[in-house]
Amino acid sequence: MDNNGALRIAVFPWLAFGHMLPFLQLSKSLAMRGHRISFLATPRNIQRLPKIPPHLAPLIDFASMPLPKVEGLPENAEATPDLPKDQVQYLKVAFDRLGGALESFLDEASPKPDWIILDFACHWVPKLASMFGVPCAFFSVFAAPFLAFWRPSESISRGGDNVLEELTAPPKGISFETSVAFRLHEARRVIRGYVNNASGVCDADRLLLTVEGCKVVAPRSCWELHSDWLCYLQELYGKPVIPVGLLPPATDDGGAGVDATSRESNNALRWLDKQAPGSVVYAAFGSETVLSTEMLHELAFGLELSQVPFLWVIRKPVDIADEGREILPEGFEDRTRDRGVIAMGWIDQLEVLAHASVGGCLTHSGWSSVIESLQLGHPLIMLPFIVDQGIIARVMEERRIGIEVPRNEEDGSFNREELAKAIRLVMVEEEGNQFRSKARDLKEIFADKDYHERYVDEFILCLRNQKED
């Protein structure tokens, strides 16, 4: 700790932009208070992150940690969007081999960091950090409800046929009323998180070992949304659980963050300028979701059937070299040209969400995207695809902030008619007023930067107190 009371903090996110960007947002909030931040990341990821504002640049240092070469990991693949899903396990192998680089960083650091703030994948860091007398805190980019569903892998392997039944019900020991749980098709995928991959450590054990090795757990949550879940985690972990707030990004930060395509953004904004206020549904599914052609077609037909103006962002799949527009249904763009626009790749999401023409979001329910949507007061049409998204969608639906698109319990499929019905309900029908009104009310919480900064103040106070203990 500096003489002026400023902390020296190293932050170490997992190699996904849905993790690195919230870690960067937290870093900026800490630096705004005069604390010195070392952001640990690989060279290519550092280049792709948003620039630090000039007034904070002296307080945030990027520590470059070259990623070791690993068999099965393509050249220059340093983040999850660079890879097909089946190769992400090799990224974890390389990530786990950053121990030497971290040890060198800690050995050379003078003075040593007061804390290392870790991501879920950093199960090996607390033991290494303890050799240098540096405590660790776990910053969870996952919302508090999702954390409540994870348990040690051996309990799953012993569970047999009861595992799916357990995952499709609220966690045991919950003392409050909720129906939030995984769907059957999600639970079958979640179980894969309990199976060892090429790194030798399953995702569930990564998370729980990280929690075990850290003195503080800090979810990206707030008491107003997740009070019951936060209290449950406190009992479950037996250590301080201190929410850091929602860390809503400033609308001038650049929502896309990485590889933003200005041409696509400009085209989209020009089109939005011509639409009626609140009339457009913004459809986007994040950096991790690569849809099958069948799902992409069903989405397209659902948007078409809804008759609601739309702006749809499609991420080019990593295994398709061309622009990919031919993966859309034949004639779709011609039939919807007068009321819809498609953007390929990345656009400035926050700038789009802030546009007066946007009135709702068709979303995968990634936590960062939900926060960005609700800080602008937009109700949600939710179509979750991976990991935590289903839990987030059900929590939001319980709060009447939006509606989840119905899906087949067995295989997770959805159809165009149900999708169109959900879009129209949230966007135009009188029954959807409840969702639109609730989203507008919650905007006061999600968009209140000062309110969330107070959460960061509480987190810093906890770090100081835990350090002294």
Alpha-carbon distance of 280 to 339, in angstroms, equals 9
Instruction: Return the pLDDT at 243.
Output: 97
Query: Do 277 and 141 share a structural domain?
Result: no
Query: Do 437 and 460 share a structural domain?
Result: no
Query: Do 242 and 290 share a structural domain?
Result: no
Please give the average per-residue pLDDT across 295-324, as a whole number: 81
Residue 252 lies in a domain: no
Query: Do 27 and 55 share a structural domain?
Result: yes
Instruction: Return the pLDDT at 154.
Output: 65
Query: Do 238 and 90 share a structural domain?
Result: yes
Please give the average per-residue pLDDT across 303-317, as a whole number: 89
Both structure tokens of 278? 């609140």
Residue 13 lies in a domain: yes
Alpha-carbon distance of 387 to 367, in angstroms, equals 11
Query: Do 455 and 440 share a structural domain?
Result: no
DSSP per-residue codes, 265-334:
HHHHHHHHTTSPTT-EEEEE-TTT----HHHHHHHHHHHHHHT--EEEEEPPPTT--S--GGGSPTTHHH
Alpha-carbon distance of 59 to 37, in angstroms, equals 6
Query: Do 346 and 208 share a structural domain?
Result: no
Domain count across the chain: 2
Query: Do 278 and 223 share a structural domain?
Result: no
The CATH number that applies at residue 437 is 3.40.50.2000
DSSP per-residue codes, 179-203:
-----HHHHHHHGGGGS--TTSS-H
Residue 105 lies in a domain: yes
Query: Do 217 and 88 share a structural domain?
Result: yes
Q: Give yes or no for residue 265 having a pLDDT over 90.
A: no
Residue 254 lies in a domain: no
Residue 255 lies in a domain: no
Query: Do 311 and 166 share a structural domain?
Result: no
Query: Do 431 and 298 share a structural domain?
Result: yes
- The 10s digit of each residue's pLDDT in 131-151 is 999 999 999 999 999 999 987
- The 10s digit of each residue's pLDDT in 369-423 is 999 999 999 999 999 998 899 999 999 999 999 999 999 999 999 999 999 999 9
157: pLDDT confidence band, cut at 50, 70 and 90?
A: low
Instruction: Return the pLDDT at 316.
Output: 60
The answer to whether 343 and 315 have CB atoms below 8 angstroms apart is: no
State which residues form the domain around 454.
Answer: 8-247+449-468
Residue 1 lies in a domain: no
Residue 253 lies in a domain: no
> What does the CA dihedral 22, 54, 61, 43 come to, rounded to 10 degrees?
70
Q: What is the mean pLDDT of the chain?
A: 90
> What does the CA dihedral 88, 89, 95, 97 come to, rounded to 10 degrees?
-150
Instruction: Return the pLDDT at 263.
Output: 61
Q: Give yes or no for residue 287 having a pLDDT over 80.
A: no
Query: Do 243 and 139 share a structural domain?
Result: yes
Residue 2 lies in a domain: no
